[in-house]
Amino acid sequence: MRPFYRLETEGGVLVADHVDVADDLLSRARGLMFRPGLAPGHGLALRPCSSVHMFFMRFPLDVVFVDGEGRVVRILAGIRPWRASGIVRGAKAAIELPVGTAARAGVTPGTVVRMIEAGV
C-alpha cells in the first residue's frame, strides 16, 4: 500500500487531507481518468509534471502547479474535461483537487504548500 499525504500551506492551512501520489509513468498517465469524481478533501499529486490533460475525465478540477520548493507557480481553477493546460514553466508537480479547493484554502500563485505523510 502506498502512503497518502495531507496538503497544507506553509502557514498551516489544510488544503486537502488525503492526497495520493502518482510518480511513475503508468500512474501519472492514468491519473484520475475514468473515475466518477474526486471526494472533498482528496487529491492527486503528479510528479514530475509540468502540464496536464483532461481527456477522458468526467469532472472538472482545480490544478495547482508547484515548483521544486512547493511554491505555487500557476493555478487552473475549474479546468473542464477535454481540455489541456499547456506547459507551465518552472512546474515540477501538479496537484489535482476538487473544484473550489484552492480558493477556499486561500492558495494563490506564490503560496508555498507542503505534503506531509498522513497514513497508509
pLDDT tier, 51 (very low <50, low <70, confident <90, very high otherwise): very high
| Predicted TM-score of the model (pTM) | 0.95
Percent of the chain with pLDDT over 90: 92
Tell me which of 2.60.40.10, 3.40.50.150, 3.40.190.100, 2.60.120.1140 is the CATH number of domain 4-114: 2.60.120.1140
Residue of higher predicted confidence among 100 and 1:
100
3-state SS track over the chain = CCCEEEEEECCCCEEEEEEEEECCHHHHHHCCCCCCCCCCCEEEEECCCCCCECCCCCCCEEEEEECCCCEEEEEEEEECCCCECCCCCCCCEEEEECCCHHHHHCCCCCCEEEEEEEEC
Q: What is the domain partition of the chain in residue ranges?
A: 4-114
| Higher per-residue confidence, 79 vs 29 | 79
